[in-house]
Chains A and B, each alone.
Chain A
């Protein structure tokens, strides 16, 4: 029993507690906060940031960073829209291509990091700008649109956003989240993700092909950016090329709020998903108490700083305890 308690990270409780407190706070003070439409809104805002955050959690756990996911998502989405509207490809095929584009960008990042040895920050910063530019170039900076609930192919919105009042998107998020959990916790890929984040050299010296696994981690991040693009398209239908910056930071913020260390090796997907919901509850909640958009950014910033600060305090205490324990062991 104590074993189980020891293995659960307190940060997750902290984040979960914060989520509950935020929810209760807005339920009391917000206007119309406890309503189906608000809940649907919270969920809808969690989809694409959620997928981005799941993907980038892998990268951050491995000690890297992926700044490109926001614009890669937008680029994939606009190209998908272009193929659908201008080239008349069937929607299902467009969606597959959307995911493939994201995955390809991920591979590009992975190769730059592992083969060229570029720092992840730099290579994904470059990809971020390349993706943003490429989306605009290919579409001639024209806004691309996906079918709304009233057009042909209306199944798109129903499958990926909601069917009446039923949030189908949430089902996708849940299912993919569980699959990602399995990938991270039950497979070699997940093990090497944590291992590389802990000590990459040790992994290499253990005879593991660390660089190809690392490349794979960036591919996963790109894949999730592609998946996020579908849900972004479902939520907004009109995609403006040349945008998408900032979404990666939302995703990274969610990961950090969820207790994943930017230094790598420590963290979890469940923390990430809680982080995603903290941000969307905050956003929707602030609106319900009548504060406009700029306040949302402001408070998101505060939450990120508070979350990391709390985490540092906690680690400090844990180290202190460990140190004292070691001294006791040595003198005993």
Chain B
């Protein structure tokens, strides 16, 4: 540990307080950072990590509290102030200008000293940066043509280009491949070597263990504590984050009786993305879909839901063949799809909880051409209570809810529409640890009440915990179905990489 040579803090944030229109986002939160160390900042979504970092980087201003930076009290009024002081951030959500080149993105705001641009010089500087990072990206390539991982690298290069003394990484690895993550960690090690202080926000405990020196935990806008990474158990960090222990074991055996009727049967489904997919789904069953990114799981879901066109194959619902040509047809047959990207495909976030909840079933709530507001209210209210959406009222705008509660609104939407077959695509992506277990509980309750569920997930522990059977795909084809009694991570991973020559390449979820 390098703390001995410079145990002095380069950055101290003390008793930071911040309110947003009545919401107390940060309650006297503190953290401190030494030069040449990596500090993990962890907490559930909504714990205040991002707000804390936005205050540090001048995007927000603290209501109370003090920031000391290299011994001086500072106040950053805007992002530029913070940048000029040597504090850079790699945002969680990509903040790139898609139509500009990689180099143009990195040096936005610092093109040249005069009015005219100097493309050559920024291209050269960007090349040098990428070289230093051991990454091949053409500085003149437009960002929109890069993969998401490469886009993230461009963001990181931008932060590095400031020659910052403090760099904040806000969940940088979410979209990176294993190889890219290794590169990133190497870069972080080099920065630490140079004495740069690094704040690293992540949900991935293995990463925190791998690269951080200390861990600071926030919960509900409050400071919980700071520990040395080497002295702390992951279980303890999780406990600090959520204030309770929730680690649960994989499901022991299927809860579906073999006599349960088959509600969905898919035979020889083909499209340009998938080949010969056949499976059955029983009433009350949770069928897990495992596979690597790009294995074709979402594509199968979209075919069943009629969102994409199938070239051949038959779908039977409750024993009868159905012709699903569009999502409209699918919903008519009681199939609901919960997209992995809620905000884009699942919700109208600018509308209220109740408007969203009845979105799929509006024609059932119409009286003489007019929306029956009373009925909508009572139906929504009942479902909001049933799935336990935490919202001050059903008139609250969906965008003001947390990820877990937004997901519950989507679930209500399909329940109100009376869907008996629900396809959950990555239902817990972007949802924090505590809310995850609520979603699990809800899914189990739905299955027990006779709904049938297809659950697509990239997290194997999640699949093992929830599923009655697991259907594994690789490169668009079915490679095996495993009963929960026989399933373990190793077996699933073997099937998921069966066709692939590079069995571990781009594997995800094998934590």
Contacts and interface: CB of A to CB of B under 8 A. Distances in A.
Interface of A: 3, 186-191, 194-195, 197-199, 201-209, 265-266, 322, 326-327, 329-332
B96 interface: yes
Nearest to A61: B99
B176 to A, nearest CB: 12
A330 B96 contact: no
Interface stretch (B4-12, B76-84, B368-376): B76-84
B432 interface: no
Per CB-CB distance, the 9 closest pairs between chain A and chain B, nearest first, are: A207-B80, A198-B97, A202-B95, A265-B99, A208-B109, A198-B99, A206-B108, A330-B294, A195-B97
Contacts of B293: 330
28 contacts: A186-B116, A186-B117, A187-B116, A188-B112, A188-B115, A188-B116, A188-B117, A189-B115, A195-B104, A195-B108, A198-B99, A199-B96, A201-B95, A202-B95, A202-B97, A202-B108, A205-B59, A205-B79, A207-B84, A208-B80, A208-B109, A209-B80, A265-B98, A265-B99, A266-B99, A322-B145, A326-B147, A329-B147
B165 interface: no
Interface in B492-511: 500, 505-506
B506 A330 contact: yes
A208 B500 contact: no
Contacts of A206: 79, 95, 108-109, 158
Among B95, B108, B111, B140, chain A packs the most CB atoms within 10 A around the CB of B108
A242 B84 CA distance: 51
B97 A199 contact: yes
B475 interface: yes
Interface of B: 59, 78-80, 83-84, 91, 95-100, 104, 108-109, 111-112, 115-117, 140, 145, 147, 158, 293-294, 475, 500, 505-506
A199 to B, nearest CB: 5
Contact of A207 (B79, B91, B98, B475): B79
Nearest to A331: B294
Contact of A265 (B78, B83, B97, B158): B97
Among A186, A194, A198, A326, chain B packs the most CB atoms within 10 A around the CB of A198
A191 B111 contact: yes
Nearest to B296: A327
B509 to A, nearest CB: 14
Given A191-B104, A191-B117, A331-B294, A203 B500 contact: no
A304 B139 CA distance: 35
Contacts of A197: 99
Contacts of A190: 117
Contacts, number: 80
A122 B78 CA distance: 28
Given A329-B147, A331-B294, A205 B117 contact: no
Among B83, B109, B505, chain A packs the most CB atoms within 10 A around the CB of B109
A191 B95 CA distance: 16
Contacts of B145: 322
Contacts of A186: 116-117
B25 to A, nearest CB: 19
Contacts of A207: 78-80, 83-84, 109
Contact of A205 (B95, B115, B147, B475): B95
B472 to A, nearest CB: 16
Nearest to B162: A207
Nearest to A329: B147
Contacts of A329: 147
A322 B84 CA distance: 37
Contacts of B140: 3
A332 B293 CA distance: 12
A201 B104 CA distance: 16
Contacts of A326: 147
Given A205-B95, A207-B83, A327-B294, A194 B100 contact: yes
A206 B294 CA distance: 33
Nearest to B475: A331
Contact of A188 (B111, B294, B475, B500): B111
Contacts of B98: 198-199, 265
A194 B147 contact: no
A263 to B, nearest CB: 10
Given A195-B100, A205-B79, 20 more contacts: A186-B117, A187-B117, A188-B111, A188-B116, A188-B117, A191-B100, A191-B111, A191-B117, A194-B97, A198-B99, A199-B97, A203-B108, A205-B91, A205-B95, A208-B80, A265-B97, A265-B99, A329-B147, A330-B293, A331-B475
